[in-house]
Amino acid sequence: MLHTLGKTGITVDKVAFGALPIQRVTKEEAVTLLRRALEGGITYFDTARGYTDSEEKLGAAFAHLRDKVYIATKTGATKPEAFWADLETSLRNLGTDHIDVYQFHNPSFVPRPGDGSGLYECMLEAKKQGKILHIGITNHRIGLAEEIVDSGLYETLQYPFSLLASERDRALVTKTAEAGMGFIAMKAMSGGLITDSRAACAFLNGWPVLPIYGVQRPSELEEFLSYGGKDLALTPELEAVIAKDREQLAGGVCRGVGGWWS
């Protein structure tokens, strides 16, 4: 099942690879896992400057296959000099001359032109230089996420979204789609609270989002690959699983980071 990420033109299978957990495996294991993901049809890979050696492992896997994958990474910089240092480090680690989606990593405010931080101006200059292709942002706060969409400044929003999503979260997805933005669903397994991956994928297939699944083990990857390329629909059985999860888990949704199966 394919999904196009807003107006970016990026069209990929609706199973994307979250590369936070590969910090916890060896470089050799990570490269094997990443290349198996690509072989299985996954072409969108999400990492961050703050994920220790995750970028380096992606670079080791894909530097020579750069035209086969889309790579998204993030900066937590709060000043222009730190922004440029992060960007150059990411390019070097990833073994590439450009990043497909470059994202502000969970900032406490919405960077805008002329706000005094200089951060959005950095994004514009990096895009002008061809070092980044699309400007994105991630957040865990619903109020800021809504403000991001209203700003009209970003091509993608990455935000927690799963079968445990609240009505306000669901309204955010609709709002994002109406604005022509790409919505990247992080924490698709709610940091491990959700244990039925088929139910999680079937639910997300019904929404205009690109889910990223944190993968650390080959067995996890094979589960998600088995759903890739398929129009996995909700069945009465899966709807019952979702209803039970919502009843038992809603309110305990993980909006932070660090869940091994996110």
Q: What is the residue-wise DSSP string for 168-186?
A: HHHHHHHHHHHTT-EEEEE
Residue type, 147: E
Query: Of these residues, 44, 51, 120, 227, which one is catalytic?
Result: 51
154 is catalytic: no
3-state helix, strand, coil in the chain (%, to 5): 45, 20, 35
SS3 state of residue 143: helix
Among 185, 259, 189, 260, which Cα is nearest to 224's? 189
DSSP 61-105: HHGGGGGG-EEEEEE--SSHHHHHHHHHHHHHHHT-S-EEEEEE-
How many other β-carbons are positioned within 10 Å of the β-carbon of residue 72? Answer: 27
Q: Which residues are catalytic?
A: 51
